[in-house]
Amino acid sequence: MADDDYVVAHSEFVLSGPKVAFDVFRFENGKIVEHCDNIQDKCHAPNKSGRTQLDGLTEVTDADKTQANKAVVKAYWDAVVLGGEANRVAEFRSMDDFRQHNCGGEDNKSGAQLSKPGFVFKVEKVHKILGEGNFVLVMSQGLFDGGQKLVFMGDTIHAPDEQFEDPSITVAFDVDQEAAAATRQRAFADAAKEGYLVAFDHMYFPGIGRIKKESIGYRWLPIPYINDAARR
């Protein structure tokens, strides 16, 4: 799926077990200059309606309806997901032919994901809505199952000892070094302000922790790691 300077890919691969992912790439002058992804464990079995994360239509059609479809999705999220107006679902979504691909979902008329008691699903912010024809992707953040918020920052950092102290330091892998430094500054500032957990690719084990603002730069606070395999 392509939308202006963005391309979205839906794939499966093996990384510490079977995974399914959405990758978003941003292009400038014919080259990839930015990437982010959302990775989830592959469902162990189809959901209650016999669907998986990977079946369903894949061909992009109705290119002339791209903007209209994106507008419907935005209106749905504004009113129902963010606004809490559950009584308006039928204005935006089919009540008779809605196909749910979440592992714990089912093709019920509300289209909601069925879940255990106490389950929490709360979207706090929409970052971007991308679409082409009959496909629309919403990039958002929030709480899922009531757990702590974790933001995967991937390649935002390559040299932690240097870049936490001075986020403006760039490396050869930063295709657009000015943009990379600005993105890192914003990401660190937000994580330090909000206090949520962060995960990096290029970080000392265990690679998950929090970022604290210091008088000069930032400090990395890794989460405590406990190997409890022997207890199971």
Per residue in 111-143, pLDDT tens?
Answer: 454 455 555 567 888 899 999 999 999 998 876
Pairing of strands 6-14, 18-28: antiparallel
Band (226; pLDDT cuts 50, 70, 90): low
Mean pLDDT of all residues in 224-228 = 64
Alpha-carbon Rg of the chain, whole angstroms?
Answer: 20
Highest mean pLDDT (candidates 29-33, 150-154, 202-206, 222-226): 29-33
In what helix (H) or strand (E) does residue 154 lie, and over which residues does it extend? strand 150-154
Predicted pLDDT at 164: 94
d(CA 116, CA 142): 18
226 versus 119: which is more confidently predicted? Answer: 226
Contact 208, 225 (CB under 8 A): no
Predicted pLDDT at 210: 92
CA distances from 219 to 91, 191, 196, 225 (A): 48, 11, 14, 18
Band (149; pLDDT cuts 50, 70, 90): confident
d(CA 144, CA 204): 27
- State yes or no: pLDDT of 94 exceeds 50: yes
Residue 81 per-residue DSSP state: I
d(CA 68, CA 71): 5
Band (215; pLDDT cuts 50, 70, 90): very high
Cα 6–Cα 9–Cα 15 angle in degrees, nearest 5: 130
Select from 131, 148, 151 the least CA-distant residue to 140: 151
In what helix (H) or strand (E) does residue 165 lie, and over which residues does it extend? none
Cα 14–Cα 34–Cα 8 angle in degrees, nearest 5: 60
- State yes or no: pLDDT of 217 exceeds 90: yes
Residue 154, φ and ψ in degrees, nearest 5: 50, -115
6 versus 205: which is more confidently predicted? Answer: 6
Per residue in 168-190, pLDDT tens?
Answer: 999 888 888 898 899 999 999 99
Q: Reduced to 3 states, what is the DSSP secondary structure of residue 216?
A: coil
- State yes or no: pLDDT of 24 exceeds 80: yes
